[in-house]
Chains A and B, each alone.
Chain A
Amino acid sequence: MFEVISNLDFTPFLLSFKLASITTFILFVFSLPLAWFLSQTNSKIKPFLEALTALPIVLPPSVLGFYILIALSQNSPIGMFFENLFGVQLVFSFTGIIVASCFYSLPFMVQPLQSGFESLNKNMLEASYISGKSKIQTVLKVALPNIKPSLLTAIIVTFAHTVGEFGVVLMVGGSIPEETKVASVAIYEMVEIMDYSTAHIYSAIMVIISFLVLLGVYIFNGRLLSK
């Protein structure tokens, strides 16, 4: 048993966490204005944007993966653009699975932020505007610090959800070691080649880490609310 663990390849885990960190960061930057807009607007396009944002929750990962694969392939305009301009191939590459993860985990970032912003006292935001503060200053200095539980939930759940993704990564990235073979894909492969002991250890690590992360979120949010 000890021998199995010491010979274990942890690269898939590192890759998973790297993917999740980058995805969470990118999504935070892009979701912040989107979530803010959705929380403040009464425009007619709001339900359309909300439905689009929530789509990755309901779609099978294979559907999402299929479309992303088509959209990013070298035959598509987007794929060609990146290939010609940056020399980056988007499918079956780490960059590709980052793009795919951003779509896949989008609702997990946008929705908590949006509901956090919606729960804020509107008068508090207006008090900031009347004080002469711009919308950006208001979001950063007043809105965000007052939705810490939602903010933490958004970041952690997005991270955890990206670590846990499987179907989309497999379709867009395949299983290239040290490039796209993340933990979930590695476990799938171990089971396929009937290496159950490695699959056991990988799976156990995933369960423990996921549980600890969620436990941390709930403890933190519980403390913040009871303060």
Chain B
Amino acid sequence: MIDINITKKLFGSDGKMDLDININIEKGSFIALAGDSGSGKTTLLRILAGLEEANGSIKVGNEVYLNANGSLKPQKRGIGFVFQDYALFENMTVEQNLLFVKKDINLASHLLEVTELTELKNRLPKTLSGGQKQRVSLCRALMNKPKILLMDEPLSALDPTMRLKLQNEILSFHKEFNLTTIMVSHDPSEIYRLAKRVVVLKNGKIINDDTPKNVLLKTKGSAKFAFDGELLEIVKVDVINVAIISIGQQLVEVVVSNEEVKNLKVGQKISVSTKAFSPTIQI
């Protein structure tokens, strides 16, 4: 069990903000941290890892990471951390990156084999692709057999195929090492696939804490399809208005009434939904 009860003053994107987090995390669970950028997700991970100071307390099982008397050094916390930018030791080969953490050749070979990196073990990081680097980074984080694995948007820079592959690897390591995993992610499908619980932060506070299904499924009432998007433009055509909305990588047009237009502003985050009496699915 991890008990976190911390506060910290931050300088977010909208000026000063108070990070104020009070949360319990079950051992062995997989938690996704979501929220807009600047909401304090990364800071929370860094405080957990001991890379940043905070007020309050963090207890992991019987171990005290942080209380009024001080904070346990990152070296002593038994944490694995996967950075968004990989942060590999550039001067060491793939295998040396792992062995630098701990001289455990068996574990290193096992991790490299699972992630299909054995062939690349003598290569330097700068000769690897993004996906390969992030797998090395994941393996490195596991070399100390950590109790807690923290990942800061580990897959956001990778293409969809590579993401899927790494998601499976993360999940299998999560089970194999009985890790408590906390991952920052913006990708709903990734969160849905991996996490059992989603914690959503906004301006340093938890605004939602539930299962991925309850948090991510946007449909309300009888609506069956719902997509989040950004309103790009409203064009008046004769008597109707057409809203141009960006959803994912696509632009769509939706007819809106004059009444609705009054409540809309270009640039707003909106949700588009429809009832689906006879949905057609085409491949």
Contact = CB atoms under 8 A, between A and B. Distances in A.
A binds B: yes
B225 interface: no
Interface string A118-158: 00010110111111111000000110011000000000000
Interface string B91-127: 1000000001110000000000000000000000000
Q: Which of A126, A129, A132, A146 has the most CB of B within 10 A?
A: A132
A220 to B, nearest CB: 16
B83 A123 contact: yes
B174 interface: no
B264 to A, nearest CB: 41
B19 interface: no
Q: Which of A128, A129, A130, A134 has the most CB of B within 10 A?
A: A130
A126 B144 CA distance: 15
A129 B81 CA distance: 10
Contacts of B3: none
A99 B79 CA distance: 46
Contacts of A127: 81, 83, 87-89, 137, 140
Interface residues of A, number: 16
Contacts of A124: 87-90
B74 A129 contact: yes
Contacts of B83: 123, 126-127
Interface string B32-65: 0000000000000000011100000000000000
A123 B87 contact: yes
Nearest to A133: B75
The B contact surface, by secondary structure, is loop
A142 B87 CA distance: 11
Contacts of A131: 100-102, 140, 143-144
User: How large, as a class, is the contact surface on chain B?
Assistant: 20 to 34
Contacts of B76: 132
A222 to B, nearest CB: 17
Interface in A94-132: 121, 123-124, 126-132
B85 interface: yes
Nearest to A124: B87
B91 A126 contact: no
A146 B90 contact: yes
A134 B87 contact: no
Contact of B89 (A128, A129, A130): A128
A123 B74 CA distance: 13
Given A121-B85, A123-B85, A126-B51, A134 B75 contact: yes
B199 to A, nearest CB: 22
A142 B81 CA distance: 17
Contacts of A146: 89-91
B229 interface: no
B233 to A, nearest CB: 39
Given A131-B140, A131-B144, A126 B90 contact: no
Contacts of A126: 49, 51, 74, 81, 83, 87
Q: Which of B81, B85, B143 has the most CB of A within 10 A?
A: B81
Contacts of A132: 75-76, 101, 144
A96 B91 CA distance: 39
A130 B74 contact: yes
Contacts of B101: 131-132
B91 A145 contact: yes
6 contacts: A121-B85, A123-B85, A126-B74, A131-B102, A132-B101, A142-B89
Interface of A: 121, 123-124, 126-134, 141-142, 145-146
The 4 tightest CB contacts between A and B, nearest first, are A123-B87, A145-B91, A131-B101, A123-B83
Interface of B: 49-51, 73-77, 79-81, 83, 85, 87-91, 100-102, 137, 140, 143-144
